[in-house]
Chains A and B, each alone.
Chain A
Amino acid sequence: MSDEGILRVERVNKSFGGVQAVHEVSFEVRKGEFVGIIGPNGSGKSTLVNLITGFVKPNAGRVYFYGKDITGKKPYTIANLGIARSFQMAKAFTDLSAFKNLIIPLYSPRVRRFRGGQYGERDDVAIDILEEVGFERDSAVPFKTANSLPHGYVKRLELARCIALRPDLMILDELFSGMSMAEVAGTLPVVEKIKEEGTTLIMIEHRLKELFRVVSRVMVLNYGQKIADGPPEEVMESEAVKKAYLGSEE
């Protein structure tokens, strides 16, 4: 693990109407780190992801990727720089078959730079990636349309779409929500493997047990503010976190 910073978020603010969704959040992620972001519902986790990936523009603050200012850049520009993200509500191309879903990120300028990628070749790459995330290669599953896949597969398709982009930083927004225990158990090693291959990961998750097994650092958001940041054991001992999750005792 090098100490090189990959992502730096500086005092970002975002409000929707009167609601302060993200308030003065700053943090830095080093290359190769695996960071978890947790927090109660509505604490601004997804908004933070949208701010980093360009889907939402911050009211104030800056986002740097490899030291380069990416604040307010278009989502596709940021994706091409090497940040992939999954969506909390899986956004599959419902009427395309699973492997065709991956052709779209494989067609991006970023991936075409990595390998030539002729028509047809991309199909093979797509099937390989699907196998990585647990779509059985010699079955009909990769050929089924996304809207006929079970929920667990659709979520893994989200992960596959991120992998297809060959990102330097991958942000997974509640990847495990709605997955069965068995599916989570099957997907967790995939995520760990991505990390071992050198991709920096940020993972937003409500399933803390699974999350704490893989991450080295956890950030806690509450009402749009960062209330804790550190190793999982330390963070869960913090009074502020207990209060946010369980309510104050008085």
Chain B
Amino acid sequence: MATREKGEKGARYRKERLDRGIKARSDGIFALTSYREALYLLFPRTATVIGLLLLPLILDEYWTKVVVITCVVAVLSLSWDFIALTGMFSLGQALFFGAGSYLAGIFNHYWGLPPILTIPMATIGGGIFSTVLILPALRLRGIYFAMVTFVVPLILVRIIEMSGIFGGVEGLSALTPMPNLWVACYLIIIALFVCLFGFRRLMDTDYGLVLKGIKSNDQAVMSGGINIYWFKTQALFIGAATGAFTGAFMTHYYRFVGLPAFSMDYTILPIASTVIGGPGMFAGAMFGAFILMPLTEFLRAIGTWRVVLYSFIMVVFVVAIPEGIFHYLQRKYHQFERWVKTE
């Protein structure tokens, strides 16, 4: 360990990590002894919350809309990450999003319900609908589970297209809009925080531990007397309802719902965000979305080259920082050092 001499009184100093006192024995067990340590822990969290809440005040209308779509992708990423933490690799974000979108559209178009009712109803309804559709695949693992979740939205698209229900290929338009952009923006930002801190909190409880255990070793969980299929169903519902919320939100935001609601974008963008940001801890997924989506907007100016550059940047991220940018930054943050006096 590096030491340095300080002139007066010959005091000696050595470097010590800022979180030395905090990380006493283990992750998740904190022993705070000073306000500075509290600040050290609180700063990244509060800075994120305050920064994001200020964004719509600072930005113009165009960029505020970018914030909205970014938050939508971020919430979808959280939903993906949550399901992945329970050991289910899902390609079904498009299903969750589409189910929520269509349900909100249907409630609004046919029954004339206002968004304040359609969004919660579509969140719960979309969650149940998606969970029931995926339920038969719950026993499958890995790529087989992924395939089922991938195919279900494609089937739904064809059903709507061929049967012409719910507006067929034209979709349902002229739906009730959000009161204004501000309401929309703050609604999705608050939803993002609820999911981020809610999921993190949930994963720290004993319930969350069981979910993590299922991913780590489902046989050991079963021998521990826990019905893994029931827990997986619950996790799937939570993730699906989260995704359905974003769909319902976007339906009223665009005032339109149609076949693009099942678009593969809603599956791929969240996964790309999570991979860039770092899977396994929700902040990473959110962070990834906040890199990916604004980047897409910045690159819009250069036309088709955008796709080339965009893909290139993604490859660089994945190859250079496979653990995810967020994990990398977090590690660096925990490695900050200070000089402390030695005897």
Interface of A toward B, CB cutoff 8 Å? 53, 55, 74-77, 79-80, 84-85, 87, 91-97, 100, 103-111, 119, 122, 140, 143-144, 161, 164-165
Contacts and interface: CB of A to CB of B under 8 A. Distances in A.
A92 B115 CA distance: 47
Interface stretch (B63-71, B182-190, B221-229, B261-269): B221-229
Nearest to A123: B206
Contacts of B220: 87, 91-93, 104, 161
Contact of A87 (B25, B223, B226): B223
B213 interface: yes
Given A91-B217, A140-B25, A96 B223 contact: no
Contacts of B227: 74, 76-77
Contacts of B304: none
Interface in B209-237: 209-210, 212-213, 216-217, 219-228
B180 interface: no
A140 B29 CA distance: 12
10 contacts: A53-B223, A76-B228, A79-B225, A93-B220, A104-B213, A104-B224, A105-B225, A119-B206, A143-B25, A161-B224
A87 B219 contact: yes
Given A119-B206, A143-B26, A161-B220, A93 B213 contact: yes
A144 B29 CA distance: 12
Nearest to B224: A105
A79 B223 contact: yes
Nearest to A100: B209
B219 A76 contact: no
Given A55-B219, A110-B225, 9 more contacts: A75-B219, A76-B224, A92-B220, A93-B213, A95-B212, A105-B226, A108-B226, A140-B26, A143-B25
A95 B211 CA distance: 13
A144 B26 CA distance: 7
A76 B225 contact: yes
B223 A94 contact: no
A91 B219 contact: yes
A204 to B, nearest CB: 15
A68 B25 CA distance: 46
Contacts of A110: 225
A97 B225 contact: no
B33 interface: no
A87 B228 CA distance: 18
Nearest to B25: A143
A93 B223 contact: no
**Residue among A108, A110, A122 with the most chain B CB within 10 A?**
A108
Contact of A93 (B25, B29, B216): B216
B324 to A, nearest CB: 16
B328 interface: no
**Residue among A55, A100, A107, A161 with the most chain B CB within 10 A?**
A107
Nearest to A144: B26
Contacts of B226: 76, 79, 104-105, 107-108
Interface string B145-188: 00000000000000000000000000000000000000000000
B206 A93 contact: no
Contacts of A144: 26
Given A107-B226, A165-B224, A165-B225, A93 B212 contact: yes
